[in-house]
């Protein structure tokens, strides 16, 4: 997992053409961009979404084929990242949605607030839960999630 400033992306990813393409696309996306799925190429697409944060969201997930690059356009949300021994698989991995879902077994996690100007990158096996309201203040956020084929990192 990576959590950092968007402007520092080169520090994390160097001269990667993959990330160059993502961060060239980013200024074209705004709060007025319609919610939906957009394709950059055959290995990268992104989702623009709006949703309300929750005091106690229940979705805890991980992926195998895709790396998530999550960026907030408006609002803020708390994200929790769990160790494998802190969760139990509730829905086994399904290739069609590249997700495996979990329930909490013990309160062992790292948390941070994703706000405009920051990014969170979740690699396969990073078990994460989004949508938490910061300081229990529910709000509607606008967010981008770039989905990058994991093979671009390992091959």
Please tell me the pTM assigned to this model. Answer: 0.93
Which tokens hold the place of 67? 């790396």
Q: Residue 67: CA atoms inside 13 Å, Cβ hemisphere, count?
A: 19
With beta carbons less than 8 A apart as the criterion, state whether 139 and 52 touch: yes
d(C-alpha 113, C-alpha 91), whole Å: 27
Dump pLDDT digits (tens) for 42-101.
889 999 999 999 999 989 999 999 999 999 999 999 999 999 999 999 999 999 999 999
Which tokens hold the place of 147? 């989905």
CA distances from 51 to 10, 23, 32, 132 (A): 29, 23, 14, 11
Instruction: For residue range 32-53, list pLDDT tens digits in order.
Output: 999 999 999 888 999 999 999 9
Phi, psi of 133 (to 5 degrees): -70, 135
């Amino acid at each position: 997992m990576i959590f950092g400033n968007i402007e520092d992306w080169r520090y994390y990813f160097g001269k990667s053409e993959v990330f160059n393409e993502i961060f060239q696309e980013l200024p074209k996306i705004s709060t007025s961009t319609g919610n939906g799925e957009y394709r950059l190429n055959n290995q990268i697409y992104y989702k623009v979404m709006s949703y309300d944060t929750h005091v106690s969201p229940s979705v805890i997930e991980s992926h195998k084929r895709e790396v998530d690059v999550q960026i907030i356009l408006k609002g803020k949300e708390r994200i929790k990242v769990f160790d494998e021994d802190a969760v139990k698989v509730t829905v086994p991995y399904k290739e069609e949605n590249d997700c495996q879902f979990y329930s909490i077994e013990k309160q062992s996690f790292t948390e941070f607030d994703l706000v405009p100007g920051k990014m969170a990158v979740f690699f396969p096996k990073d078990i994460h839960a989004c949508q938490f309201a910061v300081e229990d203040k529910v709000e509607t956020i606008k967010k981008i999630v770039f989905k990058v084929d994991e093979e671009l990192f390992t091959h």
